[in-house]
Structure 1
Amino acid sequence: MAITIEIDHAKTRAKAAAAAVLPVVPQAVKGPIRRIKWGILLLTLSIYYVTPFIRWDRGPNAPDQAVLLDFANGRLYAFFVEIWPQDLYLVTGLLVLASTILILTNALAGRLWCGFACPQTVWTDLFLLVERLIEGDRRQRLKNIGAPLTAKRTAQIIAKHVTWLLISLGTGGTLIFYFTDAPDLLGGLVAGDVSANVLTWVAVFTGTTYGLAGFAREQVCTFMCPWPRLQGAIWDPEAYTVNYRDYRGEQRTSAKKAAELRLQGKSAGDCVDCGQCVAVCPIGIDIREGPNFACINCGLCVDACDGVMAKLGRPRGLIDYESWANIERGHRREAPRNRLLRPKTIGLGAACVGLAGTIGVAFVTKTSATLSVQHDRDPVAVHLSDGSLRNAYTVKLLNKSSSPRRYTLSVGGIDARLSIVGNEDLSPIEVAPDASESLRVTLTAADAGHRDIVFTARDETGSAISATDRFVER
């Protein structure tokens, strides 16, 4: 059976709006999926707005904000995690892991992230809630389109946009809090004592939130986001996405006509063509037309259809989270099969576990100091008058902790005399917090030949860091 996945909006809506393009005006809906979405919205917004104000004690000379993107000093903090520029491989690993989890989620349940937890979806839901509370539900808002302005209507429009702007301002301001100390910046914003740079970024993020959640809505999910385009490459017929069981719903007819047909012992489709699935869709598509790239898998049409089926006394699930493969099995009158565990999902799950384990090991073995060694290139070796050979190196000690450290330097793998320029007695080298020290080091050996050597720096606690280089003759 050939499958065509549409990227445009619903054909039925396009035909109805041939003369004029109508905006997507979703209708409110009640049901278990809508309640889950409200819960996720509340959770995600709470995390977003509260996190910058959570404190985390890292000791003296270190910021106490739990999550801080301190680009000015080259640090990323997330509770007990501290990332330096040298540790950006961990960030890269986390991004790869997040992408793999997203692909696994898609293989299991399609665009589930898009429908429930994507920031665009969350803030759009919040803006729609404000719009409904001020202007009314779908029917009233559709009546308002093109209607003459009255005093009441003007007040509603002003109240809606003022509320949207306040939410956008709170969103943009909170995002800035992640880049500097939140309480201090909040105090500065209240007192009007902030830089033009801060005000510019707050204005940019405020405008972005206002524009995308207030006006661009379904255009972001359909055209601006790259994820719908990737669906063509990774769409999986075994994934549990929102689908219409057309083998049960067709032929469509009115509820009264369907009841009459059933009384006569004839078959009738459960779909009464009420259009509720289209009315509640935040993208404005008709899921009954088959898989659609624009569908964000939010499941609101499932709640709407289940409500209609309950009123008609018909079984729920005419529109449901179902795999396309099971839809095809339904056409053949075969029993549905659950194939969440299959080679693709098992492989992706194993990849996620492997990546998470690798990142975990890399984080656990990450040290609070680093040692790097660079061999002199010109000359690489010097022959002394007594016949011995000298190699010179630049040794760099980096202390990533918030307290000063004292390191004792030694070398292994060679019988040679170690000298530190400016520190002839080899006394411990003190490195300030969040700082580095570069040392000029020479090794003098009577007869060493080419060999690997290991420089080791040990602090007062006994912790050691090392780096490998070469001792050469010429």
Structure 2
Amino acid sequence: MTENLTENHHIPESPSLYAKHKKVYPQAITGAFRTLKWKVTAAIMAFYFITPWIRWDRGEGEPDQAILASMSLRRLYFFNIEIWPQEIYYLTGILVLAAVGLFLATAMAGRVWCGFTCWQTVWTDLFVWVERKIEGDRNKRIRFDQGSWNLDKIWRKSLKQFIWIVFSLLTGAGWIFFFNDAPSTAMNMLTGQGTYEEYGFTFLFSATTYVLAGFAREQVCIYMCPWPRFQGAMFDEHSLIVTYEAWRGEPRGKSKAQNIGDCVDCNLCVNVCPTGVDIREGDQFQCIGCALCVDACNSIMTKLGRPLNLITYDSVSNQMARERGDEPKKRLIRKRTIAYSILLSAVVVLMAYGLLNRSELEINVQRDRSPLFVQLSDGDIRNGYTFKILNMINVPQTYTLAISGLEGAKLSVIGLGKDPVDTVTLDVEGDTVATYRVFVRAPIETMRSQFEDMEFILTNSETGEVVRYDSRFAGPVR
């Protein structure tokens, strides 16, 4: 019975919830924005591949790479600045600057970051450029992909993939060089002496570059990147975005009739778009703001002898003014841009002040919690502390440790004598953290409560720099 029902009744298939992917074949174009994109790309490539090789002398025993995020040393080096793990707030400040800077750029000029400086856009642009050089421009690539496989197609596809893979490997290795000494790491990897971690992360980043820039391309911007989903909150009617002057271009047509707009419906603006967007349909989240459609449209308008900037970087407010015949006004300075600028400036000033006034000496003290205290045979109370000294100078330093605020208190340091003293001398190697076990003892008569406030005072014997650390001294319940 079941077999008969299956044979005699057609069960309709449920419709797919996903649209079939259509490959985008961006067409080559020349113009002001295309030239600007190449200049930005060159700057990013220079920073990415050249920066790790810049040397910076920090003294004997210190890494000489100008910019280095060393995992083994647990430090971030930026020319003459050295950030330690406990100074993570500087990294937080950098992230805040990046976020607010992105908000400000978006409020002023739309998705200018996505269109010109996002690394997904830059690397995809380079991969498409390689593809175009080997397989031809848009129409040739479409016919090439649709054609049958032959020797010409095989070697061209193979050459393209080979160049993509080489560039991906260089990209993966370039990222590794920011975390390891570039010359020695490159030599080790080329001679097969690199670590498993170096090879592993290189191939991981290489594979990511190869897949995202070579195949995923615009799908990363449309489906994977979260920024398009909430970028609208950064826009307002005065934000400069890539826009189409519909009031001037419509109705479209190729004839020279008087009731026809300037748009000749050539579709060149769509053909050059790296995400396949038709900007004439209005602002869309798929548009990355690269402005290549501006170059494309201007090239057509120039040939036809018509006014330029039918597609242009402009604000919604200006477009409405032009449509009414009013004089447009650019309003880059407004409430939200002022707020972003103030926040950006405040973070910069705070970070600069912190860097200019940062101490090259820090201490950290942890009081023993088990036991809280020990009562000695003579009745005195003793507390134990783990005392850490961070010497950020690349030369050995000598410090004097004393106690303040606790009457009759004396201290002793394991390894530096057993007798309690008023002060003790501590030696710390350059650019290291030294850890000492310090014991503080005080007469029980000085204890007015279970916990007494006290202060460790550490003085640099050479420079006279003083660092204080507030702590507590525990005793019996009174």
Counterpart in the other structure of 1:271? 263
The 8 Å contact of residues 431 and 437 in structure 1, kept in 2 or not, is answered as no
Does residue 1:187 correspond to 2:184, yes or no? no
Distance in 2 between residues matched to 1:162 and 1:309, nearest whole Å: 39
Bigger shift: 235-244 or 392-401?
Answer: 392-401
Distance in 2 between residues matched to 1:379 and 1:439, nearest whole Å: 15
Does residue 1:134 correspond to 2:131, yes or no? no
For 2:472, give the aligned amino acid: R
The 8 Å contact of residues 399 and 427 in structure 2, kept in 1 or not, is answered as yes
Cα shift readout 1:349-385 (whole Å, capped 9, x = no counterpart): 1000111111222223332332122334455566778
The 8 Å contact of residues 369 and 400 in structure 1, kept in 2 or not, is answered as yes
Does residue 1:432 correspond to 2:429, yes or no? yes
Counterpart in the other structure of 1:217? 217
The 8 Å contact of residues 368 and 386 in structure 2, kept in 1 or not, is answered as yes
Q: How does 1:113-192 map to 2 (within 5 A)?
A: 113-192=113-192
Q: What is the aligned counterpart of 1:412 among 384, 404, 407?
A: 404
Distance in 2 between residues matched to 1:97 and 1:304, nearest whole Å: 34
Does residue 1:453 correspond to 2:454, yes or no? yes
Counterpart in the other structure of 1:250? 250
Following TM superposition, by how much is the alpha carbon of 1:415 offset from its aligned partner in structure 2, in angstroms? Answer: 3.7
Q: How does 1:341-352 map to 2 (within 5 A)?
A: 341-352=333-344
Counterpart in the other structure of 2:296? 304
Distance in 2 between residues matched to 1:283 and 1:118, nearest whole Å: 14
Cα shift readout 1:225-275 (whole Å, capped 9, x = no counterpart): 111111243332321010001111111111xx23xx3xxxx4531111111
Following TM superposition, by how much is the alpha carbon of 1:107 offset from its aligned partner in structure 2, in angstroms? Answer: 0.5
- In structure 2, list runs of 5 or more residues that go unmatched: 1-18
Distance in 2 between residues matched to 1:467 and 1:336, nearest whole Å: 61
Q: How does 1:30-69 map to 2 (within 5 A)?
A: 30-69=30-69
Q: What is the aligned counterpart of 1:284 among 271, 276, 288?
A: 276
Counterpart in the other structure of 1:5? none
Cα shift readout 1:142-171 (whole Å, capped 9, x = no counterpart): 111210122222211111111111111111
Does residue 1:315 correspond to 2:317, yes or no? no
Bigger shift: 321-330 or 109-118?
Answer: 321-330
* 3-state SS in 1 of match to 2:344: helix
Following TM superposition, by how much is the alpha carbon of 1:390 offset from its aligned partner in structure 2, in angstroms? Answer: 5.2
The 8 Å contact of residues 250 and 270 in structure 1, kept in 2 or not, is answered as yes
Distance in 1 between residues matched to 2:357 and 2:208, nearest whole Å: 40
Bigger shift: 149-158 or 109-118?
Answer: 149-158
Counterpart in the other structure of 1:462? 464
Following TM superposition, by how much is the alpha carbon of 1:416 offset from its aligned partner in structure 2, in angstroms? Answer: 3.2
Q: How does 1:101-120 map to 2 (within 5 A)?
A: 101-120=101-120
Flag the 1:383–1:167 CA change in 2: closer, same or farther, 3 A: closer
Aligned-residue Cα RMSD (Å) equals 2.2
Distance in 2 between residues matched to 1:375 and 1:249, nearest whole Å: 76
- In structure 1, list runs of 5 or more residues that go unmatched: 1-18
Flag the 1:253–1:366 CA change in 2: closer, same or farther, 3 A: same
Q: State, as a whole percentage, how many aligned pairs show the same letter.
A: 42
* 3-state SS in 2 of match to 1:116: helix
The 8 Å contact of residues 238 and 316 in structure 2, kept in 1 or not, is answered as yes
* 3-state SS in 2 of match to 1:167: helix
Cα shift readout 1:290-347 (whole Å, capped 9, x = no counterpart): 0110111111111111111111111111111111222233333333221211111100
Counterpart in the other structure of 1:6? none
Distance in 1 between residues matched to 2:99 and 2:262, nearest whole Å: 39
Counterpart in the other structure of 1:444? 442
* 3-state SS in 2 of match to 1:438: strand
Bigger shift: 77-86 or 413-422?
Answer: 413-422
Distance in 1 between residues matched to 2:408 and 2:93, nearest whole Å: 40
Distance in 1 between residues matched to 2:382 and 2:208, nearest whole Å: 61
Counterpart in the other structure of 1:9? none
The 8 Å contact of residues 60 and 403 in structure 1, kept in 2 or not, is answered as no
Distance in 2 between residues matched to 1:199 and 1:81, nearest whole Å: 29
* 3-state SS in 2 of match to 1:398: strand
Bigger shift: 393-402 or 345-354?
Answer: 393-402
Cα shift readout 1:110-150 (whole Å, capped 9, x = no counterpart): 11111111111111111111111111111111111210122
The 8 Å contact of residues 395 and 441 in structure 1, kept in 2 or not, is answered as no
Does residue 1:362 correspond to 2:354, yes or no? yes
For 1:439, give the aligned amino acid: R
The 8 Å contact of residues 242 and 297 in structure 1, kept in 2 or not, is answered as yes
Counterpart in the other structure of 2:8? none
Following TM superposition, by how much is the alpha carbon of 1:413 offset from its aligned partner in structure 2, in angstroms? Answer: 3.4
* 3-state SS in 1 of match to 2:402: strand
Higher RCO (CA < 8 A, seq sep 6+): 1
Cα shift readout 1:178-218 (whole Å, capped 9, x = no counterpart): 12111111111222222333222221111111111111110
Distance in 2 between residues matched to 1:441 and 1:175, nearest whole Å: 47
* 3-state SS in 1 of match to 2:329: coil
Flag the 1:189–1:323 CA change in 2: closer, same or farther, 3 A: same
Distance in 2 between residues matched to 1:138 and 1:326, nearest whole Å: 34
Distance in 2 between residues matched to 1:158 and 1:385, nearest whole Å: 84
Counterpart in the other structure of 1:98? 98
Flag the 1:146–1:268 CA change in 2: closer, same or farther, 3 A: closer
Counterpart in the other structure of 2:200? 200
The 8 Å contact of residues 108 and 240 in structure 1, kept in 2 or not, is answered as yes
Bigger shift: 108-117 or 235-244?
Answer: 235-244
Flag the 1:155–1:88 CA change in 2: closer, same or farther, 3 A: same
For 2:426, give the aligned amino acid: I
For 2:425, give the aligned amino acid: P
The 8 Å contact of residues 406 and 442 in structure 2, kept in 1 or not, is answered as no
Flag the 1:463–1:23 CA change in 2: closer, same or farther, 3 A: same
Flag the 1:22–1:380 CA change in 2: closer, same or farther, 3 A: closer
The 8 Å contact of residues 412 and 424 in structure 2, kept in 1 or not, is answered as no
